Amino acid sequence: MNGSTFIEVSAIPFQQITYSIREGAELTEKEYALINSILPIGTLKGAYTSTNFDTIKFHEKFDNYAFSSNKKEFIKMWFHLLPNNFSNYVEAYLLQTLGFWNFLRGNDTAYVQNTIWENEYNLEQTDLIEKWSGISLKKVLEPKVYFSSALFVWLFFLSITLLCHKKNYQQLLCFVPCILLWLSIMIGTPIAFSLRYVYVFVLFVPLSIIIPFLPNKNTSVEVEK
């Protein structure tokens, strides 16, 4: 696993360790030196955001080389701190994944973007409708309410629950790819809010509503018998 991949999959463990440090977790001299080599602990505490690992990962003082060169030591430290900081780990995890399980929490992060970021390719946005008609639809298309990503996920799992209740297990196969996606997000998301990460659940809404009410082939066969 290369350095860039390791830092991506380590988002939640790093957040858990940082949260624990802020809560007063005791580190060995070796652990203190390791964290300090990656990002000075004082800076680390200030850079920590409970729902966004990017504030640490992209900090100007973050030493990615020191981090990627000490993978085993980092993993050992995570396990060493776990027993005495279990509750901190759980709280940090729930905060870091907040937008993907709490259907009441949503924000505008990676929700609907009708602008273009500054980029090295000098790409610029042109509103052709405004250019041709003098009327911009940007304000019309901007969402007024930010629904939680978790809302679409829970609708998805409600559909699965209905299928299980009806013992219509064959139709569960079409849900598997989305389940795997959600699990991967819950294991390694770097940010707690990002609709684009789970946008497939939005597209799946019609199927989540329709599939549970499709005829059950097994039931049909039994009725015929």
The predicted-structure confidence for 51-74, as pLDDT tens digits, reads as follows 999 999 999 999 999 999 999 999
pLDDT at 223: 47
70 and 145 together in one domain: no
59 contact partners, CB below 8 Å, separation of at least 6: 39, 43, 47
**116 and 16 in a common domain:** no
Same domain flag for 163 and 223: yes
Mean pLDDT of 140-167: 90
Whether 113 and 207 map to the same domain: the answer is yes
pLDDT at 69: 92
Length in residues, the chain: 225
Nearest to 71, CA basis, from 16, 154, 8, 148:
8
Cα distance between residue 173 and residue 159, in whole Å = 13
Q: Domain range holding 171? A: 102-225
pLDDT > 90: percent of the chain: 67
> How many structural domains compose the chain?
2
Write down which residue in 96, 129, 151 finishes a domain.
96
**Per mean pLDDT, which range of 94-98, 136-140, 179-183, 212-216 is the poorest?**
136-140
Assign 3-state DSSP to the chain and report helix, strand, coil percentages, each to 5.
65, 0, 35
Q: Residue 16 corresponds to which tokens in the numbers above?
A: 């858990």
Residue after which a domain boundary falls, among 47, 81, 96: 96
Same domain membership, residue 78 and residue 125: no
In a shared domain, residues 114 and 225 = yes
pLDDT for position 1: 60
pTM: 0.83
Residue 127 and residue 56 in one domain: no
* 73 neighbors 34 (Cβ within 8 angstroms): yes
| pLDDT at res. 74 | 95
Q: What is the mean pLDDT of residues 114-142?
A: 82
What's the confidence (pLDDT) of residue 124?
85
Residues 32 and 119 in one domain: no
**CB 185 within 8 Å of CB 163:** no
